[in-house]
Amino acid sequence: MPRPRKPSLIRQLEGNRSFRPIPEDLPPDGVPRPSDAVRALGKDAVRDWRRLVKQVGTALLRQQDGRLLELAVLLRHHLLSAHREGDRRFVVQLSGRYQQVLKQLGIGPGERVKYTPPMSDKDDDDLLG
């Protein structure tokens, strides 16, 4: 099974090592809405949904990402409830799966180090003083 194609915005942030032009993406088809399963969990789950959408960025999201966002919200909900109940084994299992989903969304801790933040005019000033 081939790897999914990286969005051009991500490729621009990572840098183009091959110096070939980066192909344009398909136009975004909108941010997915929270599903009924997420709404059934309550306001906290919908708040988590919105937080994840904000972290990923609306320029990168497609309608297909709705299932992945739903999975992340459901995993977080079950992770927090298992943590409250003190079920350590289940917490460890869920936290691993939660980290995998965040990585697929591109917002895991290891994903952030791949990007070079753009420098602003303020950064061009003398860095040592």
Q: Which tokens in the block code for residue 33?
A: 């809405």
- The 10s digit of each residue's pLDDT in 40-52 is 999 999 999 999 8
pLDDT at 128: 44
pTM for this model (two decimals): 0.67
Annotated domain spans of the chain: 31-109
CA dihedral 75, 78, 82, 85 (to 10 degrees): 160
CA dihedral 117, 26, 103, 86 (to 10 degrees): 120
- The 10s digit of each residue's pLDDT in 93-107 is 999 999 888 888 888
